[in-house]
Structure 1
């Protein structure tokens, strides 16, 4: 098996285990078993568990942001695009394996002790905030409104994970509608 395929296999196993069980509760032995790779091969690909966590977050970030953008871009109206963020979040929250935001979860587990993990979380959150602020700007609304919408989305993510319901997405969307109305140029 080539290096790229082995790395994908390791990341697939790590992502499933880290996201559902938590990073600290999953050891490299468990990832070895789930991936079918030897421990030696796993450490050749990822010299430390911390590096594996970084790679997991990097890969998930690319997919998460791509999927969100594809969903949002289906809408032509710039204001509707902002609200489409919450439609997408609601669909994500309703998935049977939804276990909260991987970056919030990772930061909660390792943010205080792992600078590389904290950096990946900050990169993801900054990119998401900039994306939402860009949607607001494209709608002719203040960038600051986009930053407020970002906070609503983040709160919805945390609340949906805790409550086990997708309802926070709709609630945050309703608050966003009010912000959009208030933020429109007069």
Structure 2
């Protein structure tokens, strides 16, 4: 079996287990079993659990950013519609039975300040998502701070959906708040 295939198996298994149980509750033995890779090989691919967590977050970052961009691009034509499509994406994601919250928020919350690398990856992901929203906001010629406000709505919806267990409702409320923010920005633009 090629090292790339084994690494992909390990990343997929670790992502699933970390999402379902949290990082600290999952040992390398569980990941080995789920990935069907010998422990020695697992450690050759990822020398530590911390390295594996970082690799999972890096992969999740790429996957999420691509998924959102693809979703938005396929469903929205105008810049305003693209902003709201981000919240429609959240609605679909939160309705997925595998949804347990944002892996970045959960991992930083779980591990606290114990890993600068994990914090750096999570911050980079959240800033990239904020920058994506900033591009959409700029296309609408809305004030730049609207991107930060929309990002707070999205992150708040993620946390609320995970804690309350009613993801679609949290996404609907966040989308409604986004509509209100966009209307206020449009009003400011007209005035």
**TM-score past 0.5 threshold:** yes
Aligned to 2:178: 176
* Structure 1 SS opposite 2:114: coil
* Structure 2 SS opposite 1:112: helix
> Per residue, is there more helix in 1 or in 2?
2
* Structure 1 SS opposite 2:181: helix
* Structure 1 SS opposite 2:80: helix
Describe the superposition over 1:119-170 as per-residue Cα deviations: whole angstroms up to 9, x where unpaired: 1111111101111111111111112111101100110000000111111111
Report the Cα offset of residue 73 of structure 1. Answer: 1.2
Report the Cα offset of residue 111 of structure 1. Answer: 3.2
Aligned to 1:16: 16
Q: Is the 8 Å Cα contact of residues 110 and 118 (structure 1) preserved in structure 2?
A: no
* Structure 1 SS opposite 2:113: coil
Structure 1 residue runs without a partner (length 5+): none
Describe the superposition over 1:39-66 as per-residue Cα deviations: whole angstroms up to 9, x where unpaired: 1100000000000000000111111111
Report the Cα offset of residue 4 of structure 1. Answer: 0.5
1:39 matched to 2:39 = yes
Alignment of 1:113-124 (within 5 A): 113-124=114-125
Alignment of 1:152-171 (within 5 A): 152-165=153-166, 166-171=168-173
Q: Report the RMSD for the aligned CA atoms in angstroms.
A: 0.8
Alignment of 1:11-160 (within 5 A): 11-74=11-74, 75-160=76-161
Question: After the TM superposition, which segments of 4 or more aligned residues of structure 1 sit over 4 Å from their partners?
Answer: none
Q: Is the 8 Å Cα contact of residues 111 and 117 (structure 1) preserved in structure 2?
A: no
Structure 2 residue runs without a partner (length 5+): none
Describe the superposition over 1:97-133 as per-residue Cα deviations: whole angstroms up to 9, x where unpaired: 1100000000011131011111111111110111111
Q: Is the 8 Å Cα contact of residues 103 and 121 (structure 1) preserved in structure 2?
A: yes
* Structure 2 SS opposite 1:111: helix
